[in-house]
Amino acid sequence: MANIKLKNVKKSYGSVDVIKGIDLDIKKGEFMVFVGPSGCGKSTLLRLISGLEDITSGDLEFDGERMNNVLPSKRGIAMVFQSYALYPHMTVYDNMAFGLKLAKSDADAIKSRVEEAAKMLQIDHLLDRLPKQLSGGQRQRVAIGRAIVRDPRVFLFDEPLSNLDAALRVATRLEIAKLHHDMSDVTMIYVTHDQVEAMTLADRICVLRDGLVEQVGTPSELYEKPNSVFVAGFIGSPKMNFLRGDFASSFNCATLGIRSEHIVLDNDNPTWKGKVVHTEDLGSDNYLFVDIGAEEPLIVRQAGKVEIAVGTEISIRALDEHLHRFDANDKPI
Ligand SMILES: Nc1ncnc2c1ncn2[C@@H]1O[C@H](COP(=O)(O)OP(=O)(O)OP(=O)(O)O)[C@@H](O)[C@H]1O
Ligand SMILES: [Mg+2]
């Protein structure tokens, strides 16, 4: 329920500048995902927004109101971390009700809020259990439930799924997408390392690099129109292929980028020829690693089953309309 505005926000620990001047507008009800390499400042930025850390300079506003000096508990924020930190001796119900009890809400109101949140997260049958009697995914949902009952206007998530196994991650990811849909007024900011989470959950993604915003846009804008080599290489899995030197100069650029799905086998009109040096069969997709004499093998995606053995010489063509050309400053041409 809040528009969030950051104006030249900076954070230093002693002489170390961690957040170096961030301007960002996050719209009410928006799902914004922060991505970036380890140590670039994602968690710090969340902590500045929540008030767990003080802002060194710049302004943080919620709906036009300056928040810099507002206590964390008065900001209307709920935060969910990687480790869920439930109280081990309390039932699921009591864990979820704890914050409301502290705030002296009335008992009937607490009960209906907890039950409503539990239903939304499909943990209503688990309310009498202790945390140790739950799976990791269920525990994380309790942690999310505990945040929901406080009726936040801003929801902050710091890698909430990274401790879960693959199947639970998918299930809980869907749960979070549903939550965003059901709580369409609540602004959500979500930090992740996971490409699929970023691409599927985000209304917009903010790519951070070394304490600064590198690019903000919808998932498809970032995927299709990265404004730097850094973003091109950061968004998407497998990573975009990059060619430099003569390979790039024959396309009039300093760096040529091409995604694995935009290279096809073509004997008649090949862009490059090379030898398959490695293959990865993921079942639905096959990745061929092709040595064309560049610094690294090109990764070529083939849908479905492909019977191409390591050592085979193949001819491949890059799809012209999907080439990314960058200049010597790593900016798109
Ligand atoms: N209390 C602190 N004192 C000094 N430096 C800190 C402190 N907290 C964080 N840092 C530094 O700030 C930088 C950003 O840390 P932050 O935790 O925000 O990174 P991150 O992007 O969340 O990384 P990760 O993806 O590994 O979680 C790091 O270099 C970190 O060492
Ligand atoms: Mg972090």
| 148-170 pLDDT, tens digit each | 898 889 999 999 888 888 888 88
CA of 43 from ligand 1 middle (Å) equals 7
Question: In degrees rounded to 5, what are phi and psi of residue 235?
Answer: -90, 125
Average pLDDT for residues 309-314, to the nearest whole number? 95
CA of 37 from ligand 1 middle (Å) equals 11
pLDDT of 304 > 80? The answer is no
Omega of the bond prior to 297 within 30 degrees of 0, cis? no
> Could you tell me if 252 and 197 lie in one domain?
no
CA separation for the pair 193, 198 (Å, rounded): 8
Question: In degrees rounded to 5, what are phi and psi of residue 177?
Answer: -60, -40
- Among 30-34, 38-42, 173-177, 291-295, which stretch is predicted with the lowest mean pLDDT? 173-177
Question: Could you list the residue range(s) of the whole structural domain that residue 280 is in?
Answer: 238-326
Question: How many structural domains is the chain composed of?
Answer: 2
- The protein residue with its alpha carbon nearest to ligand 1, atom 18, reads 41
CA of 155 from ligand 1 middle (Å) equals 21
Q: Residue 1 has what pLDDT?
A: 64
Pocket test for ligand 1, best of 35, 42, 162, 197 (most atoms within 8 A of CB): 42
Tell me: the pLDDT tens digits for 44-87? Answer: 999 999 999 999 999 999 999 999 999 998 999 998 887 778 99
CA triple 134-156-210, angle to 5 deg: 120
CA of 287 from ligand 2 middle (Å) equals 31
Q: Is the CB of 13 under 6 A from ligand 1?
A: yes
pLDDT of 171 > 90? The answer is no
**Cβ burial 192-204 (10 Å sphere, 16+ → b, else e):** bebbebbbebbeb
> Could you tell me if 15 and 58 lie in one domain?
yes
The chain-wide mean pLDDT, for the chain, equals 93
- Please name which ligand lies nearest the alpha carbon of 52: 1
> Could you tell me if 310 and 223 lie in one domain?
no
Average pLDDT for residues 109-126, to the nearest whole number? 91
pLDDT of 251 > 80? The answer is yes
CA of 109 from ligand 1 middle (Å) equals 39
Tell me: the pLDDT tens digits for 195-236? Answer: 889 999 999 999 999 999 999 999 999 999 999 999 999 999
Q: Which of 178, 201, 228 is the last residue of a domain?
A: 228
* Tokens, residue 131: 């945390």
Q: Using CA of residue 327, residue 328, residue 329, residue 330, what is the dihedral sign?
A: positive
Q: Which of 200, 228, 256 is the last residue of a domain?
A: 228
> Could you tell me if 46 and 134 lie in one domain?
yes
pLDDT of 95 > 90? The answer is yes
CA of 237 from ligand 1 middle (Å) equals 25
CATH classification at residue 287: 2.40.50.140
> Could you tell me if 216 and 307 lie in one domain?
no
CATH classification at residue 113: 3.40.50.300
* Tokens, residue 227: 């404004």
> Could you tell me if 199 and 102 lie in one domain?
yes
Q: Is the CB of 42 under 6 A from ligand 1?
A: yes
CA separation for the pair 263, 280 (Å, rounded): 16
For the CA of 14, the closest atom of ligand 1 is: 4
- The protein residue with its alpha carbon nearest to ligand 1, atom 17, reads 43
Closest CA to 30 of 192, 199, 203: 203
pLDDT of 172 > 90? The answer is no
Average pLDDT for residues 94-122, to the nearest whole number? 90
Q: Which residues contact 268 (CB under 8 A, 6 or more apart)?
A: none
With bands split at pLDDT 50, 70 and 90, how would you rate the model's confidence at 136? confident
* Tokens, residue 326: 């960058």
Average pLDDT for residues 111-137, to the nearest whole number? 92
Strands (E) located in 14-122: 16-26, 31-35, 57-62, 65-66, 77-80
> Could you tell me if 305 and 180 lie in one domain?
no
Strands (E) located in 218-297: 241-243, 255-258, 263-265, 272-281, 285-291
Q: Residue 37 has what pLDDT?
A: 95
Contact of 48 with 75, CB cutoff 8 Å? no
